[in-house]
Structure formats: structure tokens, C-alpha cells
Structure 1
Amino acid sequence: MSSRGSSGSRRSSRSKRTPEKTQVNGSEKSTPKRAKRSDSPFGKVSENGSTKSPSINSFDSTVGPASKRTSELSSGNRKSRSITQGILSDPLNLSSPLHYGSTDTQFNASQLSGSNRSHISSYKKRVDIATDSRFVRQINISEAIDGENVPAVGAATSEQSDSSTAPQLVIWGTNVSISNCKGKFKTFLRCPDFDFETLDSDELQPQTQMDLESVPAEKKKPLYLQKLDEIYTLEEPFLNVNCAHVHQFDIELYHQLINYPQEVIPTFDMAANELFFELYPDAQLPHQINVRPFNVIKTSNLRTLNPEEMNQLLTISGMVIRTSNLIPEMREAFFECINCNWNTTVELDRGRIAEPTTCQHCNAAHSLRLIHNRSQFIDKQQIKLQESPENMPAGQTPYTILLMACADLVDAVHPGDRVTVTGIYRATPMRLNPRKQTVKSVYRTHIDVVHYRKIDNKRLHDDAKECNFTASRIDKLKTLSKYDDIYDRLAFALAPSIYEHEDIKKGILLQLFGGTRKEMSLCTNGERTHFRSEINILLCGDPGTSKSQLLQYVYNLVPRGHYTSGKGSSAVGLTAYITKDPDSRQLVLQTGALVLSDGGICCIDEFDKMSDSTRSVLHEVMEQQTMSIAKAGIVCQLNARTSVLAAANPVESQWNKNKTIIENIQLPHTLLSRFDLIFLLLDPQNESYDRRLAKHLVSLYYRSREEEEEEMVDMGLLKDYIAYARSFIHPRLSEAAAQRLIHDYVEMRKAGSGRGQISAYPRQLESLIRLSEAHAKVRLSSVVEIVDVEEARRLHREAIKQSATDPASGKIDISILTTGMSSSFRKKRAEIAEAIKHLLNTMRSEDGSQEHHQFPYQTVFNALKESSSIMVTKEMFDEGLRYLQDERFLVAFGGKYIRLST
């Protein structure tokens, strides 16, 4: 009895929601009563443009008679329905404006082939532009007005409807017609006014219609039709559209795209798919073509984002500082009745599932359960974007913003990348507690990513995929490489405002090219190891010798480059540190400058002023190219394949030629030995040099801009040349070059063996190999020849001559860099130690009863100074005592006493 009563009440409640029938234009039309958003997933339906229509992203039927629509709207079953022909019975195809957006990756290629694409019953909305259904604008289905011809649904703008009652779809609250928008974009794709040279251009000048008769046959095909050809060939269904092209084609269409991206971009998807399958009816794609607009003309800044730009398409630039792990996010929940196995799907609304309470088949209450393995999930990733250092106002900290990337855009960028992001600006309320639905009145903003662009026109190209060199550009680079003086030309183009220092510029030029990365398989466990190909350079010298300017120039040129100063850097700032993520409230690893410079150059100024703990982290990075972390339960090894360009000043503010480099800059020899090249930049204090330098500096202020540009090499050509060599040239040693390297290394070892000195170590041989490979890249040669080895040997010998010359003997002694002291100093230390030993034995024999064999420190020092024929300093005396302590002649020595061993 109670069950019948409940069933009857349910029937009664359903009957109350039955639409009323009214007369519209002489025909019966059903008008459903207004329902709340939570009651119906289809929004609010309007009549004659006066009431609201269903959401375009949640509508699931074609446009037909009102009675047909209301019968479907009143039905609670969200399962797929059969599609009738035409507006009433035509099978659903890609031209239906009520079924647009991209499919998810679960559709296979056969589902989107040209032969059966018209039989797909539904399409998934694009996940990268519809992350929150609160921002979905509804579509107004308005009737034609008194015989006025309105474009038919799904037709191009040039086609007019024969029926005066054909409905027209417009974006809610606007007069933007979906069909007109789609037709314009189809015309845009066929427009021949654009070419590949302007595809990635940030600014375009207005152009007139091209004369097709004057264009060669191979260039007559429009740019975006060529891009559709690439999609057909590569089967990568993504179409990148330059918004500057859209603005040049139709300003009105451009503003519609900027102001209503969530509705217009899927319309572009429809047009692109229709045109694609018209051109290639037998094509098969993994999913529907996604249009990805980029390069919004008004590029926003992180500091200028305001609520007026909410839900609009914008472009911002910055540097990626953190990326999250892959996050699976549910997009569509699958429910099944435990009684009758009836099932339904529910799309998530604001991250929550509107769980159905009643089975529409058996009318059982609370009988539906969520089936996780049949629900649909997408990949999602959170990216933290920071304001670029060059865009920050003076004296202010950088701004950050959160990016949301979905599906194919996951893992498209990595920490350290400088990117230009195009996306939709969003705002979501903050929750008081993650486990409660209560939200604050404060909103947190983020950007739903639509397009990434990692090209930075001011820097070198970072990846071979980004080096889109045309055939003419490659021919020009190869022609330039055949010049005999190409090496000198490129070195002259590097930092032209800095006077002389040719060898130092050549060394930095070879650092920009880098060596060839080599990997070797380990037979024991199948792992692979690699040899370092990056070149490290240290610049030392007097203040005011342009060391910092060279670092700044390189930092502004290379990709993934970072600039830091010794005093302002800590060990965790260079490597990595643990912090709590404000979004996930979990401990995450925040990478530092060395890890973010992976694949680039890390410029460290004031290298001598770093603390010992900070410098200690560089040992592993500069040789093994990795960074091992074990903090707060996070144990990992990060890649730090970066070149280090450092600058250091002497401790006495002026270089002392009577001291070694170790004594001048007070750096550990274990760190200095990891630099391939160490150059000295000294002030010669020569009148002729001073005159030439002053003339050069003054000329920078009075010469005209035209004269400067005539002498300077095209920087765009220099960047392309280095980028092409880094990406496509990987030279290998020839037999003659290998034998020459072996001969030079043996000769370097022989040079110091007669004097008891070591003038070369295996690290010097590896440095010669890297420099030879870099010089071969300068010539765009895939083989290292003898000429490359000779230049590498000359440059290395010049650097060694400056940094490893013994001031006492005037000869090159590589042990200064490897052990911290020269051979002459070791010999003098041994002599002083022997004199101290003889003196202490004499003093002990004279006073054999002295307790513990202790002698006053100052007494022994004074006695040695009086008896020695050479000047003995306190440092030399202490070195002699340490030598005797290593020989176990002394037990210990302090500030007051010297204690002998028994």
C-alpha cells in the first residue's frame, strides 16, 4: 500500500512537470515550466527569443519541433538517442551546432573516419576550455521574424534558409550568430593572404588581397589549408591559429573570439572538421580537430590582470617554475541501478557530482551506485607561472599565477621554460575546508590553457622542434659556414661593445655551441651513462674589466639561462628546497637555479663571495651533471645538465701577480679543476692599451646608430646559426683528430715530468675533446678534423698559461689547479719543514728534560727566521709545521706551543 502510494506520488509529481501546450505560429508548441538548474541539465528553454535556452555544452539533441524537444527535455534518461533525418531525420554530423567540441582520447581512429563520422551520436566538450560549467553561456534559439530569412542551422553564411521559421543559434545575451561565426571561419581557413613567415609573427601589418595570378603555383594554396594537409599526413589533430591573422581577416570575428572563447572556439572546431573531411573524406584521426588560437594582439601582463578580463581569451608570458604531477580528474560519472542495471551518465558541475536519487527505469529511490571504472577521466596538470625577470619593475618581487592544462597539453612545458600562454582567465571561490562545500567570498584566479608557445625571439632556440628553419635560411647558414673566417666573425659578433678579449669571446662562443652528448650502455645492469658535453668557464681578474657584462650578455642570449650572484645565493637556492604547496597542501620539491638551467647556462657573478656550503653543491653538478636530493622523505636525483659561466674578483681587490690563482681568489682547487677554461681579465696599466680602450668607450657615445649597425653582425643570423648547430650538428672524432689528441696529451704530460711537475690530467684531455667538438660545430661539420683540435689546443694552452703559471718559476704547472699548490711551493715547504725539524731536534737535545717535549711557538719561529737564509713568513712556517704533522714528527701545534711526538 505504501509502495503504491509512493509510486503514485511520483507519477503525480512527474505529471506536474508535464509541459503545457500553446499555439505558436499556428502550430502546437510545448513550453516547459521554468526549472531550477539542479533539476534539469539542459538549462532554461526560450520561446521566440523571450525565454532562456539550453546550454550549448549540455544540450544533447538536434533542433526539431518544439514537441519533440520538450518530450526529450522532460525525459530523465540521458542515454544516447537516435537521430532522425534532416532537421527532423538527418543523421547527426559534424555540422550540427548543438554537438561540437573535441572528443576525448577514448575514441579510436575509426570513430572519426570520413566514412562514418556522421553516425557518431555525441561529442565530448573540450576539456581545456570548459573546466567549470558555471562559465558556460547558454544558446538562445530564436524564431525568425515575419518572413525574414535567417541562415539555417549548420549552414555557411552565404546560404539562406528557405523556411521563415528556421531557428537561429546565438550566444546568450548577444547577437553573435553561431552559423555566421562558423561560416566566417571557414572562409578564413581558405584565405590566401597568410604565409608561413607570418604564422608565428607577433605583429602583422594590414595586407591587401593577393593576386593569385602573380603567385607561383606552389604558393597558391592558403596557409591553413596547408596546415590541414599536415594534419592529414601526421594525424595530429591540432590546428594552431594566429589571432593576428583573425584580426587582419575580420575584426568582428576576432572580438567574438576574445570575448566568448568558450562558445566560439568549439564553433571553430566544427568549421575546421567540416572543411577537413570535405577535403579528405577517407581520413582517420584519433579524435576531432582542436583549434588552438594563440598570439592575442593585446598581450596581458601578470600585474595588469583584472576582473574585466574574466572568462576572456588572453595571452601572457612568463617562466615556468613548478609543475605538478599528473592528476586524474573525473569529467563524466557513470551510475548504475543495483536493481535493474539501468545506467546513466552525469557530468560534473563545479567539481561536484549531481548524484541522481531515483532510477528512471524502476523508480527505486537511492538505488544508483557510482561505477568508477566506467566513468570518464582526463589528465590534468597544475603549472605555476612566474613573471619573467626582464618584465619586473625595479624593486618588486615577481608575480605568479596558476595554469590548468588538460589532455594533450599535460607535460608540454617544464620548469625553467620561458613560455607564452594563451588561455581563458577564470575565477573559482576558495573553500574554507577542503572536506566541506562551504566557500569564501574570496576568489582564486587561474588560466585554462589553450595553447603553449616556448619560442623566445630574444634568445636562442631551445629545442630542435622549435627550430623551424626554412630551406632558404638553411642554405644561407651553410653558405656562411664555408667562410674561412667564420670563427672570427662569430666571435666578433659576440658582445661587440666589449673591447678586445678575443680569446675569451672565442671560449664563450664554444661554450654556446657545446660538445656532443655521448651515452654509453653499462653491460652489468643495462643502465646508460653519459659523458659531460657542457663547457664550464671561469673569468677572474681586476674589477671593472667587463666580467659582469659578459655574463649578462650570455644570460640574455641563451635559452633556459639563469643569472645569480654569489652573495645573494644559498645552497638551496642553487639546488632545490622543500616547500608546502598552497594548493595541494603537500610537501613539494622546489627547484633552484642550477636545475632550472638544465639545457642552458647558469651565470654566477661574484663567485668568490659564495659561502663554502653554497659552493660545495657545485661539485656534483659541474662533473656528473646531476643533483642528488634527500630531504623531508623526498629522495631523488635531478638533472642539471647546465654549463657554468662564473666570474670572480681577487680578495685584495687587485690581482697580485706574485700569488697563484688559488691565493688570489681563495677558491678550493677541487672546484677550479672542474672548469674547462679559466681566463684572467687584468688591467695592463699600459698607455697604448689605455688609449685604445678609451677611444672605443668614447665611440660608443658619439657614433650614430647607422654606423654601429654597419659594423655589427645580424644578431638574428647569429642566433639561428648557433641554434641550428646545437640542434642538428653532432660531430664525431675522426681517426686523424683522435691520434692528434693523444699526441698532444702525451706531450703535455712530458712537459712537466722532467721538472717533477704534472702538467696535464685526464680532465684536460676531456676538455680538449669538448672544445674540438664545439669548434667543429662552428664550421657546421659532422666530423672533428685536425684544425679543430689545433684551435682547441691553442685556446686551452692560452687559458692554462694565464691561470696555471707558477709565479715563482714562471712555468706552467697544472698542479696549481688540481692540488692547490705549485711544485716550487711544495719543494720550498719541504725545505722549511726540514729546517724546523733540525731546529726542534737541536732544542730538544739541549733541554732533554723538558716536559712533554713542548716548545713555545713564537720562540721556534723567531729562531728559524734568524737561522734561515731566506725570508720565512708565518704562512710558510705553518705549512712546514703541517708537513711535519703529516710526517708524525709533531703531535699538534697551536697558538702558543709546539708539541713533539714521543
Structure 2
Amino acid sequence: MSFERGDTFSTSVLPGETPSEDQFSEVIKAFKRFILEFRINNNFIYRDQLRENILLHEYKLTVNSEHLISYHDELNKKLTDDPAEMIPLFEQAITEIAKRIAYISSDEAPSSFPICQLILLSNDHRISIRDLDAEHISKIVKISGIIISASTLHSKATEVTLMCRNCRHTMKMKIQSSFGVPQIPNKCQAPPQPNGAKSDCPPEPYIIVHDKSKFIDQQVLKLQETTDMIPVGEMPRHILLSVDRYLCNRVVPGTRCDVVGIYSIYQSRVKSSGSANNAAIRNPYMKVLGIQTESDLITGGGLNNVFSEEEEEEFLTLSRMPDLYERFSRSIAPSIYGNTDMKKAITCLLFGGSKKVLPDGMRLRGDINVLLLGDPGTAKSQLLKFVEKVSPIAIYTSGKGSSAAGLTASVQRDQATGDFYLEGGAMVLADGGVVCIDEFDKMREEDRVAIHEAMEQQTISIAKAGITTVLNSRTSVLAAANPVFGRYDDSRSAGENIDFQTTILSRFDMIFIVKDEHNAQRDIAIAKHVMNVHANGGSAEEQSEGEIPIEKMKRYIQYCRAKCAPRLSMEAAEMLSSHFVSIRKEVKQKESYSSERSSIPITVRQLEAIVRIAESLAKMELSPVAAERHVEEAIRLFNASTMQAINSENADSAQLTGQITRIEAEIKRRLPIGWSTSYSTLRRQFVDRGRYTQAALEKALTILERKESIQFRHQRMSVFRCGV
């Protein structure tokens, strides 16, 4: 039985089929010999695999094309050149052997014995989706990408029984397992009656008898190019995938995979009968024969997740280097001068901490989130672009051009069936990697709230259009933002400059405030560095430091994340707990002095953040335990980022409060009750001479107005003191 040959047959046998049947039988025998005789180290791998699958009632066989090439090159060439004809014969050979395994003789096998499925895997070179053209039609190709949507499971007819509504003539017709509309005969195919009379059956006479038809499970996937495959300025390409039987429900949106299949075309539904041009257009799709994901260990080449012995030895040697942490942080965007602590924080973000599942089922995230907030021109976007290149899985997006649905998931309607399905957004597609969000402050508040759950619980809950589900988004977030006023205003508190809600700030493990301060020596060093980069493409000093190449960094990050999951030692945990208590006490004292709560909170989340940073430092060294030295560096990084932002906020707040008190006392002394003065005079005396800031004057006047000791006239053109 063929799932791909779309022929119609009745009770009679068409003439001229005998030669082709003989050829088919020879091909079937060759496939049988391959399954029964192929062995590696005296192990008959396919015969044993098929026996195990039949005992588990799984009627399938996974074959590696490399083995078929080594056994019978000509047979593999026939399979590659004409897969639509050869694959049904291969499956027939598998089925006949399965019957012999399940039963003593093939005659005892029931007629309902299922057709065994061939799952074909290959180590061939991948072809880009945008390189597929007419030359590849009806050929076996291998492509790679990321699954962005998966339809619900539905039944696809492989053989339908048709019955004429008028004369009750029945016939069977095989249907191609594709997206195409089945071509049902529009005239009755009943043989002429003995007396020569013709039947008066109407047009379109046939109806489908579902009880006597045969169906298989089918699912439609959409595969999109990964970001590293897309040329600059191009839109990402995607292709539809048709999977059936045991390949259904193998992948979910966000899965990166290699796909082996037959590149095919199908006729889409034509809306109007007069559009002849549309009827002549065929849409491409891929009939999937095999899927290789990261978790597949059947072959050795899936998605570069298998490391050679030479690579492992090289990585182990690298992990033993005493200055690995410094070298790795220097290798983060070497063309950017300074920002040492920011680069070290990004290094920790790339490696990540250890995910934990508690006995009660609660999950604790291991991914680290970092926020870079500062003046324009401080290379925040360049750092994000570099992280996109060096991270094994990364997606770069801009806050202004991102919506809540684009970041989480959107609900789409299937044009063919009308069903709703989910299409993953940036947080879902970057599962297991990093999402770089630039212009984080330009996002709408409701869009920013949508990623709250994704940043802490690392899931995305969807309840739309009758779809209620939870998607994984186990990803780190690296966000860059500008202050409210474009540049960081030292006269205002950090809370006024940041203007983010506490709910989102508490989810960032490290918050860096980057100020473009004017320092003569630093400006000279930056100018020399930038000129050197523009003139030579990189400084000789940096090149002599032996920086790690990007590809090696990417593979090492991948290796550490796959092989190592460190835990805190008891001594390190004791040190960390005592430090957390002390910083909570310190923050509480400062808040009591300034009478204002900090906009950057210190909660248990920040304690977990330091734990994750320490674990990432241990993971970088492939150490199973995070020791005290790792905790010390984690505390130093946390103090250099989040705690420094809190301290600067408290310092700014204390300085502003002192200025407000002095201005208030001076205005009361200079302006007796019943007198008035112009607002411009006050601004000239207090602000223009550099004594106080504009914000301090405004705040003092607001406080005095609230106390009813002054009045404003004509939008602060004049100030009149009336007393209490």
C-alpha cells in the first residue's frame, strides 16, 4: 500500500503492470536484504531495532542513509532520485519482515496489520530554506531551522471508498498524503450495463463512505530560518512541513531541528474559478521523512550538540586556566573600551546558573537577567549585538517594534481548516538561549507587563480563542534602556531617571546604571582606542592578550551548559545568607534616613540572583561546586551593579533633600509675608549661579505652596507669599 501514489483502482487490473511489478519486487528484495543483513560490529542493528519496535507495538524503523550508502550505493541513489516511488517499496519491505517477526508465517498475519513507517535520518549537508528551488522538487533534501507553529493533530485519508449517490457504484481511491485537495471523479465510473444502456448519474455523483476508508494521523508544522541564516535586510523565510504517523507530536514551537524530507508542491484552494493564473501556481511544502532534534541520540550529527574527543580535551584544558574568567570577559566585545563589570555580568548571563526542581514540583530558574540603563553612546546596543552573535541561541529585538504577542505568542487561524493554533514569539523561540531587547524603555507598559511571567516563572500562559496552554520560555533577558529624559539627570533621583515599575526591576538580577561622565584621562583613552579600531581594525595589545575566538566561545558555552550544573557549598551558602541579611539591614536604614523607599527593591529574588551568579562562575570552570571565592565575586558584581544603583539613588535623594531644605529657608527669609517677586528672579539667584539645581527649586516651591505660605500667579511668572 502506498501513502504517496495517487492512483485510482477498481476490481480489474490495468494491463501492462507486470514488468514494473517485477522491478518492484526486486527492489523490495534488496531492501529486505539490507534490513536483515546490515550489521556493525556483528550487531544486526536494523533487524534488532525492528524486533524491539514490534514488541512495543510501534510499527516503524529508523534508518540512517549513511548505512544504506555503505551497503548498497545504487539502492540509495534510486531512493534519492525517486523517493515517492521507492519509499512505499521500502515500507512494504519493512512490513513484510515485521510480519515474519510477529507471526510464524506471513499467511497468519491479519489483513489489518499496519504499514510500518520508514523514518529516514541523514548526515548530509544542510540546504538553506531560501536555496530550495525547482531543481529540488521530488528530491530528498535536508534543511534546518526553528519550529514556529504546530497545528493540532488531525486524520488524513490515505484510501477513501467512494459511492455513487444514484447507482450505488463503489470504488476505492488512494489519496496523496499532502495538502492538496483530493481529485474525486466528477463523473460516475460505473461500467456500462449489459444491455448497453447508459446510467443517468448526475455530475459530481460520488460521496465518501468514511466507515470503509483508511486514515492516518497528520500534523502541519511551520519551519523558519534561524537568525544566523538570514542575510542582512532580508525577511526570514519559512516552509510548511507535513508529518504523519509516528513523527506527529515530536516537536513543539521553539524547537531547533534538522528535517529530512521530500521537497514537494501542492495545489492550494482556488477561490474563484476564473483565476486561471492562480490555478497554475503550486505552493512548496516538505513531506517529512525524519526529524533530528537536540535530544535525539540516534545519529551523531544533530545540531552540533555532540562534541568530539579533541573538543572535550580542549575545553577541559581551557577550564583549568587560572585567568579564564578575566580572559573570557575581555573577549566580550573587545572593540568596546572599558565597561569591565558589565562584560563580566554578560559572561555570567551567557553561562547561566543551575535550574532546580524542588520536591514539591516548584521550579527555580537558572537563567540570569541583566538590565543596562544609561546615557546614549555608551555602547549598550553594541553589547547586545555581540551577545546575539556569541550565544548559541539568541534573538535580538527592539522594544519599540515589539508587541506583547510578538514577544510571547500569537494566535493564528489555519486557512485550510479554520482552526486556531499558536505561533511562538521571541521569548518562545529563544527557549534555552538569550533574548536581547533594545530600547526597553520605549515599550508600552502593557507589552512590558506581558513578559513578567516569562522572566521569573519562565513560562507563558495563553488563554485566547479557546486555547488554554502554557509554553516554555526558559531564556535569559538582556535589556538596554535610556533614562526618562534621554540622558541621566544627576539632579533627579535614580527612581525618577529609571521610571520602571518595581515589579519589572525586581526580576533583573543585575542593574547597571551607565553614565557618560566627563573625565579627561578616560576621554583620552577612549579616543585612542576608537581611533585605533578605525585605523587598524583592532588594537595590537588586545590581540596579544590571546582572546578567545567567537566560534570557540559559542561552543564552550554550549558545552558548559550541557555538561555542568553546580550547586552551592555549605560554607558558600552560609556566607551568602549572612551577607543578604546585612544588605537588607543597610538598605532599610538608608530608607529610614531619606524617608523614601528605593525604586530598586532588595528581596529574596536578589538573594537568588547572587546564587545564580555564583553558580555561573563555577559552571564556567566546569566545577560541580560553587565555592566561597565564587560567592565573593558574585557579591562584588552585585554590589557593582544593583547595590551601586541603590546607593547612588539614596545619595541623590539625600543631596536633593538638603538642597530643598536650604532653599525653603532662604525663600522664607528673603520674602516677607505679603511681598511678591518674579519667578525668573528666584531662578537667577538660586539656579543660574550654580548654587542649587532646577529640580531642587521646583520641589521647594511645591512644598511651600502645599504649606500655603506662597502663591503662584500667571504660571509662576510671579511668586506671592501670603502666610499660613
Q: Quickly say closer, same or farther: Cα 1:735–1:308, change in 2 above 3 A.
A: closer
* 569-578 or 446-455: bigger deviation: 569-578
Q: Quickly say closer, same or farther: Cα 1:742–1:455, change in 2 above 3 A.
A: closer
Query: Of residues 79, 82, 93 in structure 2, which corresponds to 1:260?
Result: 82
Q: What is the DSSP-based 3-state SS (H/G/I as helix, E as strand, rest coil) of the residue aligned with 1:258?
A: helix
Query: Is 1:729 aligned to 2:699, yes or no?
Result: no
1:642 aligned residue: 475
* 780-789 or 663-672: bigger deviation: 663-672
1:197 aligned residue: none
Q: CA deviation at 1:864?
A: 8.3
Query: Is 1:827 aligned to 2:657, yes or no?
Result: yes
Q: CA deviation at 1:536?
A: 0.9
1:493-642 matches, within 5 Å, as: 494-495=332-333, 501-519=339-357, 529-541=362-374, 546-627=379-460, 638-642=471-475
- 1:37–1:43 contact (8 Å) kept in structure 2: no
- 1:296–1:314 contact (8 Å) kept in structure 2: no
Query: Of residues 290, 294, 309 in structure 1, which corresponds to 2:136?
Result: 309
- 1:182–1:270 contact (8 Å) kept in structure 2: no
Query: Is 1:405 aligned to 2:254, yes or no?
Result: no
AA matched with 2:605: R
Superposed CA deviations along residues 840-863 of structure 1, whole A, max 9, x for unmatched, are: 9x88x749xxxxxxx9xx956856
Query: Is 1:391 aligned to 2:229, yes or no?
Result: yes
Give the whole-Å Cα distance in 2 for the aligned partners of 1:478 and 1:318. 30
Q: Quickly say closer, same or farther: Cα 1:558–1:583, change in 2 above 3 A.
A: farther
Give the whole-Å Cα distance in 1 for the aligned partners of 2:712 and 2:209. 76
Query: Of residues 769, 772, 791 in structure 1, which corresponds to 2:611?
Result: 769
Give the whole-Å Cα distance in 1 for the aligned partners of 2:304 and 2:52. 16
Give the whole-Å Cα distance in 2 for the aligned partners of 1:676 and 1:573. 24
TM value normalised by structure 1: 0.60
Give the whole-Å Cα distance in 1 for the aligned partners of 2:712 and 2:215. 71
Q: What is the DSSP-based 3-state SS (H/G/I as helix, E as strand, rest coil) of the residue aligned with 1:415?
A: coil
* 891-900 or 573-582: bigger deviation: 891-900
1:443 aligned residue: 282
Gaps of 5+ in 1: 1-35, 50-139, 142-166, 171-176, 193-218, 337-342, 359-365, 523-527, 807-812, 817-821, 848-854
Q: Quickly say closer, same or farther: Cα 1:319–1:467, change in 2 above 3 A.
A: closer
Give the whole-Å Cα distance in 1 for the aligned partners of 2:144 and 2:12. 37
TM value normalised by structure 2: 0.73
Give the whole-Å Cα distance in 2 for the aligned partners of 1:232 and 1:714. 49
Gaps of 5+ in 2: 1-5, 105-112, 164-169, 191-200
Q: Quickly say closer, same or farther: Cα 1:40–1:238, change in 2 above 3 A.
A: closer
CA RMSD of aligned residues (A): 5.6
- 2:223–2:239 contact (8 Å) kept in structure 1: yes
Give the whole-Å Cα distance in 2 for the aligned partners of 1:476 and 1:231. 39
Query: Is 1:40 aligned to 2:3, yes or no?
Result: no
Superposed CA deviations along residues 770-825 of structure 1, whole A, max 9, x for unmatched, are: 2122223223344333222112111112224654452xxxxxx5x69xxxxx4315
Give the whole-Å Cα distance in 2 for the aligned partners of 1:543 and 1:226. 64
AA matched with 1:742: S
Superposed CA deviations along residues 77-136 of structure 1, whole A, max 9, x for unmatched, are: xxxxxxxxxxxxxxxxxxxxxxxxxxxxxxxxxxxxxxxxxxxxxxxxxxxxxxxxxxxx
1:836-875 matches, within 5 Å, as: 846=674, 859=678, 871=691, 873-875=693-695
Query: Is 1:428 aligned to 2:266, yes or no?
Result: yes
Query: Is 1:182 aligned to 2:31, yes or no?
Result: yes
Q: CA deviation at 1:289?
A: 6.3
Q: What is the DSSP-based 3-state SS (H/G/I as helix, E as strand, rest coil) of the residue aligned with 1:431?
A: coil
Q: Quickly say closer, same or farther: Cα 1:825–1:887, change in 2 above 3 A.
A: farther
Superposed CA deviations along residues 520-540 of structure 1, whole A, max 9, x for unmatched, are: 577xxxxx5433432111234
Q: What is the DSSP-based 3-state SS (H/G/I as helix, E as strand, rest coil) of the residue aligned with 1:584?
A: coil
Superposed CA deviations along residues 148-205 of structure 1, whole A, max 9, x for unmatched, are: xxxxxxxxxxxxxxxxxxx4437xxxxxx51575378559944x6xxxxxxxxxxxxx
1:759-798 matches, within 5 Å, as: 760-798=602-640
2:291 aligned residue: 452
Q: Quickly say closer, same or farther: Cα 1:659–1:802, change in 2 above 3 A.
A: farther
- 2:381–2:480 contact (8 Å) kept in structure 1: yes
Q: Quickly say closer, same or farther: Cα 1:648–1:182, change in 2 above 3 A.
A: same
Q: CA deviation at 1:594?
A: 2.5
- 1:737–1:784 contact (8 Å) kept in structure 2: yes
Give the whole-Å Cα distance in 2 for the aligned partners of 1:420 and 1:829. 64
AA matched with 1:424: I
Q: Quickly say closer, same or farther: Cα 1:830–1:396, change in 2 above 3 A.
A: same
Q: CA deviation at 1:595?
A: 3.2
AA matched with 1:783: V
2:578 aligned residue: 743
Give the whole-Å Cα distance in 2 for the aligned partners of 1:735 and 1:453. 41
Q: Quickly say closer, same or farther: Cα 1:881–1:403, change in 2 above 3 A.
A: farther
- How many residues of Structure 1 are paired with residues of Structure 2 in the alignment? 674
Q: What is the DSSP-based 3-state SS (H/G/I as helix, E as strand, rest coil) of the residue aligned with 2:129?
A: coil
Q: Quickly say closer, same or farther: Cα 1:42–1:319, change in 2 above 3 A.
A: farther
2:166 aligned residue: none
AA matched with 2:150: T
AA matched with 1:604: I
RCO higher in structure (CA 8 A, sep ≥6):
2
Q: What is the DSSP-based 3-state SS (H/G/I as helix, E as strand, rest coil) of the residue aligned with 2:654?
A: helix
2:696 aligned residue: 876
Q: What is the DSSP-based 3-state SS (H/G/I as helix, E as strand, rest coil) of the residue aligned with 1:515?
A: coil
Q: Quickly say closer, same or farther: Cα 1:440–1:790, change in 2 above 3 A.
A: same
- 2:32–2:97 contact (8 Å) kept in structure 1: no
Q: What is the DSSP-based 3-state SS (H/G/I as helix, E as strand, rest coil) of the residue aligned with 1:552?
A: helix
Give the whole-Å Cα distance in 1 for the aligned partners of 2:382 and 2:159. 56
Q: Quickly say closer, same or farther: Cα 1:676–1:48, change in 2 above 3 A.
A: closer
Q: What is the DSSP-based 3-state SS (H/G/I as helix, E as strand, rest coil) of the residue aligned with 1:169?
A: helix
1:321 aligned residue: 148
Q: What is the DSSP-based 3-state SS (H/G/I as helix, E as strand, rest coil) of the residue aligned with 2:575?
A: helix
AA matched with 2:654: S
Query: Is 1:799 aligned to 2:641, yes or no?
Result: yes
AA matched with 2:546: E
Q: What is the DSSP-based 3-state SS (H/G/I as helix, E as strand, rest coil) of the residue aligned with 1:511?
A: helix
AA matched with 2:292: R
Q: CA deviation at 1:431?
A: 2.8
Give the whole-Å Cα distance in 2 for the aligned partners of 1:434 and 1:515. 57
AA matched with 2:10: S
- 2:28–2:90 contact (8 Å) kept in structure 1: no
1:458-477 matches, within 5 Å, as: 467-469=305-307, 477=315
Give the whole-Å Cα distance in 2 for the aligned partners of 1:507 and 1:227. 48
Q: What is the DSSP-based 3-state SS (H/G/I as helix, E as strand, rest coil) of the residue aligned with 1:430?
A: coil
- 2:392–2:555 contact (8 Å) kept in structure 1: no
Q: Quickly say closer, same or farther: Cα 1:676–1:347, change in 2 above 3 A.
A: same
